[in-house]
Structure 1
Amino acid sequence: MPKSHKPEIRATIQPGSFDRMKQLPALRRITEGRARSSQLTTVYFDTPERDLQQQGLSLCVTRQGRGYLQSVTQTGMLPGTLPDWMEWEGPVPGQDIDLAAIDSKKLHRLLQDIGAERLQPVFQTDIQRSSRMLTFDGGGTARLELDRGQLLAGEASAPVVEFRLTLESGAPEPLFDLAQEIYQTVPFRLASMSMAARGYALLGPDEARFRKNGGLDLAADDTVEQALVQIIGHCRDHLRANEVSVLTTDEVEGVHQMRVALRRLRAAMRIFRPSIAAEHYAWITDEAKWLTGELTEAREWDVFSEEFLTPVAQRYDADQGFTELAEAVEQARRRGRQRARDAVADGRYTGFLLRLDAWLSSPARRAGATDEPPAHLDEPIGQHCAALLKKRDRQVRKRGRDIASLSDTELHELRLAVKKLRYAVGFFEGLFPPKQVKPYQTHLAGLQDALGHQNDVAVADTLLRGLAGETGGAPPPVWAYAAGQITGWYRHAAIAARQSLVGDMGAFLQTKPFWKGA
């Protein structure tokens, strides 16, 4: 049978907090009956080439008591990226996989094409589970599962200490209120990886890598509120999908993708501002700005090192100060990465996600303090997206029409307007024929890249001045010559790029918008 998708909160806790959480008064007060303990062993299957993982799927069989449950779920860190037919669970007679039990023809065919005979165990979990039913004051029920055990993958292993709150009936608000109450006593981190993804990560590094945002599935007859929830939820998922990369690797893309997710989130908030209560708009954008600021230092030094220092240093001798400059930049880069990791590990970040999840899950939470509801919530998004796109398109055309005479400040404002337009196009492009969207997207992307390079040059100059300032007024550091070469190199290149920017703007101005009424 297809897997059901109930609202849930899954989080990891410290091993020392496990017993304390079982005795929390907030949980004991609403527990119905006695908690039940069980032992679960789950074996995950794949081919030697990991074909299922490449499809974004996991296939497992769980033994609980005398019964066996076979499940097909997604492995990725972006929830909801698989169609419903690709997720399934149902009973099977034993611990071996049984493809015949899968009653989804499409899924059955996909697994048969991969080759049932090639599927073999790849990792497993051994879990001691304590589960209980919770009844909320005012109605509604939830299931709490507390798990403690091990994840075993070849010679590698990792502890599993986590809980899952699943709404069984009623409104979602009490579920999130309970999670926030738990968090005040037992701090936790929301789980950003499925158990299957954790298993694959133990086998190799792929699952800890960065994730770009996937596609949206908007329909023209979706209401404005439905579109708002889907788009902002998509930005949240994109953000969370890169937590592991930031926390556990030195990949430059992890931090970059988290910042992109936050920019997309803020762009979506601006687009839907008339439909969002003022007090909610304020806290969401304030928290997004805070996190963006904590990630910026790492991203700026990554860009400087990869795109400015390295290309120029390759053209000079090391004894001209480039080695010393590289060492100073790497120290600054490490400081930026640690700042980013500290922010993602901070309780403020978890609190933001909990609050945002509650807001997205509950129309009542999205309502404002005033009696007057936000605008357009029940109207089809198809009636509004053209006007939203037209507004941002007009801003870009107005700001960029005389681009050759713009000051640096005006170019910066144009760059921001282009980014807002590009994010808006990305949100709504699925509502239009791809052939109509592509030419516009192509010219808009080229314009954004050109403007972004101009901004990177300005940021690089600021970074170098700041780095030199750390000497506290001492004589110029040994890498001063190298810094001067980099600055001169890219300032000269920026002059030529400024001239080509005129052509990029002209190409965009000649591109016809793809929406009706443009």
Structure 2
Amino acid sequence: MSAPREVELKLECGGPDLAALAAHPLLQDAEGARDLIATTYFDTPDEALREAGLTLRVRRRNERFVQTVKTGEGGAGLFDRAEWEMPVAGETPDLALLAETPVPEVLGKAGAADLVPRFATVVMRSERSVGYGAARILATLDEGRVESAAGDSPLCELELELAEGSPGDLFALAQALAETVPLRIGVRAKSARGFALLDGKGLRPSKAEPVAMPEDASVGEAFRLIALACLRQLRLNEEVFLAHRPPEALHQIRVSIRRLRSAFSLFKPVLEGDPRAAALSEEIKRVTEPFGPARNLDVFLATTLPAEMERRPDEPGLTALRARLEAEHARVYARVFSVLEAPEWRVLLLDLLAWIETGAWRALPAANAPAQDFAAETLDRFRRRVKKRGRHLDHLDPEERHRVRIAAKKLRYGAEFFAALYPGKKAGKRHKTFVSALSDLQDHLGALNDLATAHHVMASLADPEGAPADGQTAFAAGLTAADNEAQADALLAKAAEAHADLVDVKPFWR
């Protein structure tokens, strides 16, 4: 079924910044309009439309009502979705007008055609048609709120919708606006914000979601979907961290970055023809360097040190050690916060999104190959790497174990990225077994890495740039390091056993 498509770049900002955007020279146009818009979103009581990836809304603008059906949530920033729009007589959906959409089929399978209001949005909308490059772009500025039975949340965003022309000009306009106004990539449609309120998942850390892709996807399409999924996870958790600074949000930010850089590594044979790929990956690594020390302290203060204090409740130096590290924790968290608030970071993510959607890599011949063949070759290569590097794992030095851990992590991410390319019950069962074995190996290698990290944290107490640790604190630090090291042999044995189990597991892609 063909349908009109909506290509829309969603950007978020604060209320004062939206006012600055409204006055921006690039968005001035005589065709502008400003209206109060009320929108109600409908679904069945058991959310059959949402489950099918559809949204149905009725929007009131002045005395006119418009019913709209949209597919999909998009990835990050650029929303390219099928859309059916039609005028209706009032505030409720007209089922007779939905015949050309997927809605009747979904409702039929659900066994119920009852539609009920789920939530609403109320916004003051300003629109203007903008010419930029060779494109005609509709710039929409929305300020208002999402309203639900579970509570409300503010809404402040800029949407750039491509009326005619290429997405390249759409991004060029966004990048020009971002030079003077702090814009962040939007990753949630208004409908997603409403459902998050109903689910009680407002500002909470988000784990990686499964990457949906068609079984017959090309390599280029697969990379695009994977990269957008990573960027989406990053932005969801960035929003949470900036609001409340929970350690889990920072952890998920780092996971999203590792997944993204792993995608660059997995797809290197395809991307190496575009020099921007390596440059972007390295720039992301450079800018996010402070995130590692912050996460290390999170783990040490939440896990390692409490365990040591339980083992040695009478050791007075441990309290002093905790105070020392909590002060350091506040300092490194301030560094993370400053990175995420910096214009350099916002521009980098917008540049990354523009490159994912319009970069030269998309025109390379390798991007047109079948993703399934590429995935099998890639997973084979990294599986061999883990198998070879992990031989005699319990006799490897820390640096060699680290190389095994990195290879296993990339294999794990690859297995998750490409899962949708291998549908079916048999492949699904094999995938679950394979990922479980990989997770077991990663858990043990991760625990060993935590020991190395604890040593690094202890060594940081002697940092010549900071005040030297007093004797009592230094003694407690040494004691903690020694107690942790005593666990290494048992962890090594478990890691070696997990590696042997993984080697025996049948690949789900073959």
TM-score (ref. length: structure 2): 0.85
Q: Which residue of 2 aligns with 1:10?
A: 10
Q: Secondary structure, in 3 states, of the residue corresponding to 1:245?
A: helix
Q: Secondary structure, in 3 states, of the residue corresponding to 2:468?
A: coil
Deviation string 1:391-419 (CA, Å, 9 cap, x unpaired) is 11111111111223211111111111111
Contact 1:68 1:95 in 2 (8 A): yes
* Structure 2 Cα separation of the partners of residues 414 and 457 of structure 1: 16
Matched, 1:489 2:483: yes
Q: Secondary structure, in 3 states, of the residue corresponding to 1:455?
A: helix
Contact 1:53 1:75 in 2 (8 A): no
Matching residue's letter, 1:388 = T
Deviation of 1:278 after TM superposition, in Å, equals: 3.8
* Structure 2 Cα separation of the partners of residues 304 and 263 of structure 1: 20
Matched, 1:294 2:290: yes
Matched, 1:439 2:433: yes
Superposition pairs of residues 310-321 of structure 1, within 5 angstroms: 310-317=306-313, 320-321=316-317
Match of 1:35 among 26, 32, 40: 32
Deviation of 1:234 after TM superposition, in Å, equals: 1.9
Deviation of 1:135 after TM superposition, in Å, equals: 3.2
* Structure 1 Cα separation of the partners of residues 59 and 431 of structure 2: 46
Match of 1:340 among 332, 336, 340: 336
The size of the alignment, in residue pairs, is 500
Contact 1:142 1:167 in 2 (8 A): yes
Match of 1:410 among 400, 407, 412: 400
Deviation of 1:244 after TM superposition, in Å, equals: 1.6
Superposition pairs of residues 126-205 of structure 1, within 5 angstroms: 127-138=123-134, 140-149=135-144, 160-196=155-191, 198=193
Q: Which residue of 1 aligns with 2:254?
A: 259
Matching residue's letter, 1:218 = M
Percent identical residues: 30
Contact 2:7 2:81 in 1 (8 A): no
Q: Which residue of 2 aligns with 1:237?
A: 232
Matching residue's letter, 2:308 = V
Deviation string 1:75-96 (CA, Å, 9 cap, x unpaired) is 979569x9989x8765443235
Matching residue's letter, 1:355 = D
Deviation of 1:221 after TM superposition, in Å, equals: 3.0
Deviation of 1:3 after TM superposition, in Å, equals: 8.3
Contact 1:246 1:340 in 2 (8 A): no
Deviation of 1:216 after TM superposition, in Å, equals: 2.1
Matched, 1:500 2:494: yes
* Structure 2 Cα separation of the partners of residues 21 and 96 of structure 1: 34
Deviation of 1:175 after TM superposition, in Å, equals: 0.8
Matched, 1:462 2:471: no
Deviation string 1:60-112 (CA, Å, 9 cap, x unpaired) is 542101112345669979569x9989x87654432356667654124435888
Matched, 1:64 2:61: yes
Q: Which residue of 2 aligns with 1:388?
A: 378
Deviation of 1:424 after TM superposition, in Å, equals: 1.6
Deviation of 1:325 after TM superposition, in Å, equals: 3.0
Q: Which residue of 2 aligns with 1:282?
A: 278
* Structure 2 Cα separation of the partners of residues 210 and 20 of structure 1: 30
Cα pair distance change 1:340/1:377, threshold 3 Å: same
Superposition pairs of residues 70-89 of structure 1, within 5 angstroms: 70-71=67-68
* Structure 1 Cα separation of the partners of residues 190 and 496 of structure 2: 51
Deviation string 1:439-496 (CA, Å, 9 cap, x unpaired) is 322222211111111111111111122135476335324x445434432322111121
* Structure 1 Cα separation of the partners of residues 393 and 326 of structure 2: 36
Matched, 1:419 2:413: no
Cα pair distance change 1:56/1:310, threshold 3 Å: farther
Say which is worse superposed, 41-50 or 441-450, in terms of deviation. 41-50
Q: Secondary structure, in 3 states, of the residue corresponding to 1:95?
A: coil
Q: Secondary structure, in 3 states, of the residue corresponding to 1:454?
A: helix
* Structure 1 Cα separation of the partners of residues 204 and 48 of structure 2: 18
Matched, 1:378 2:368: yes
Matching residue's letter, 2:177 = I
Cα pair distance change 1:273/1:24, threshold 3 Å: same
* Structure 2 Cα separation of the partners of residues 394 and 58 of structure 1: 44
Unaligned runs of 5+ in 2: none
Matching residue's letter, 1:181 = A
Contact 1:45 1:123 in 2 (8 A): no
* Structure 2 Cα separation of the partners of residues 66 and 147 of structure 1: 19
Cα pair distance change 1:181/1:240, threshold 3 Å: same
Cα pair distance change 1:493/1:367, threshold 3 Å: closer
Q: Which residue of 2 aligns with 1:327?
A: 323
Matched, 1:105 2:95: no
Contact 1:422 1:441 in 2 (8 A): yes
Deviation of 1:267 after TM superposition, in Å, equals: 1.2
Deviation of 1:506 after TM superposition, in Å, equals: 1.7
Unaligned runs of 5+ in 1: none
Matched, 1:350 2:346: yes
Contact 1:143 1:168 in 2 (8 A): yes
